[in-house]
Amino acid sequence: MSLSLKESRAATEMAKVLYTFLPGSGSVGWKGHVTFATVAQNAGIGNFWTAGSKEPAIARLLELTLEKRRDCFEPLVLTIVKEGLKYRQRNGDPVRESEILTLNGLIKDVGFKFPALWDPEFLGSLRTDGATRAAQIVEQEKEAANLRVSEKSKRAQDLEDIKSSFYALAKATNRQNAGLEFERVLNRLFALFGLKPRLSYRITGEQIDGSFELDSEIYLVEAKWEATSLSEAPLLVFRGKIEAKSSFTRGVFIAANGFTPDAIKAITQGKQPNFFLIDGYDLTVVLEGHLDLIHLLREKQRHLAEKGAVFVSAKELMR
C-alpha cells in the first residue's frame, strides 16, 4: 500500500535520526562488517537498499519496507538500533536517549510501537556511560540488599513483640480480658504474615472471633484461652458456625491449652470436618521462629484434605 504524506515524512525524519547508526556499505570481504546494506539483506529485504547517497537510501529502505513488507519493519529497525549502539560506542559517540525518544515518536507516526525501545531500563542506560551505569546498578543492588535486611530485621522485631505479648497473657489475672487480648495478638500475627486478617465481628445470633485469607480462601477463626484443654462442645459450636455460612467456608480453631483427645476424636465422627486445630505449642513454634506460619497453616490444611485429620502437631511437621 502507498504511504500517506505523514508516513512518508516520518520515514524521511527517521533516516536523519538513524544516519549515524551504521555505515551505508563496505567491502563484502570485511568479515563481520555491519552496514545498512547487510542489515537489510539479513532481514530478507536486501533489494530495498539502493546504492547512492546514504540518507535518501535509508529513507527509501524504510518507505519500501512499510509499503511492501510491514512485517519486516520492526526487526529491521531494532537490528539497526542494536548494531548502531555498538558501532557508535566504538566510534566514541554513544547513542543518546534523546535520539531514541525522537525515533520512538516517528515510529508511532507510522503506526508502530516497539516496547524494547520504550523500556525505562534501556532508556536509562543511554543517559550515562557504561562504567557509570555499572556503578549505578551496583549501588542500586546494595540499596535493595540493605532494604531487604532492614525489612527482615523489622519483621523479626515485630515477631518478638508479638511473642512477648503472647507470653504475658499466660500471667494475666483477668482471664476474660486475656481472651480478648488473645484475639488481638493473633490478628497481629496474621497481619505480619500477610494474611489480611479481620478482627472479631458479630452477625445475627453469633460472634466470630475473626478471619484471615490464605491462598485466596477465607478462614473463620475461633480463639480460646481456657485454663484446661477444650472438650468437644466448643468445637461442635464452631462447626455449626461454619456450616451456616457456605459449602466452601473453612475454619481454624485456636486453643492456647489445646484439646482433649476425646474432643479431637468426636469432631471427626459422623460429619466431614471443615476446620483444623492449632494449640499453644504450634503458636510457640511459630513465635520462636522455628516454623513459618504460612507453612504451618498449609500443612495442617493438607492433612485435613488428604487424611481428614483435624489436628497434626507442629512437632510432627518439623520432622
pLDDT tens digits, one per residue of 44-96: 999 999 988 999 999 999 999 999 999 999 999 999 999 999 999 888 899 99
pLDDT tens digits, one per residue of 142-186: 777 777 767 778 888 899 999 999 999 988 888 788 888 999 999
Residue 164: φ, ψ to 5°: -60, -40
Domains along the chain with CATH numbers: 5-127 (no CATH), 150-317 (3.40.91.50)
Cα angle 144, 117, 38 (rounded to 5 degrees) comes to: 130
> What span, in angstroms and rounded, lies between the C-alpha atoms of 126 and 85?
10
Closest CA to 27 of 15, 39, 35, 17: 35
Helices (H), the chain: 5-18, 36-42, 54-68, 73-90, 97-109, 115-118, 120-125, 130-169, 175-192, 232-243, 261-267, 280-287, 293-307, 314-317
Say whether pTM exceeds 0.85.
no
Q: Quickly tell me which residue has 555498538 as its cell.
A: 86
Q: Which residues is 221 bridged to in the sheet? A: 210, 252
Grid cell, residue 83, equals 548494531
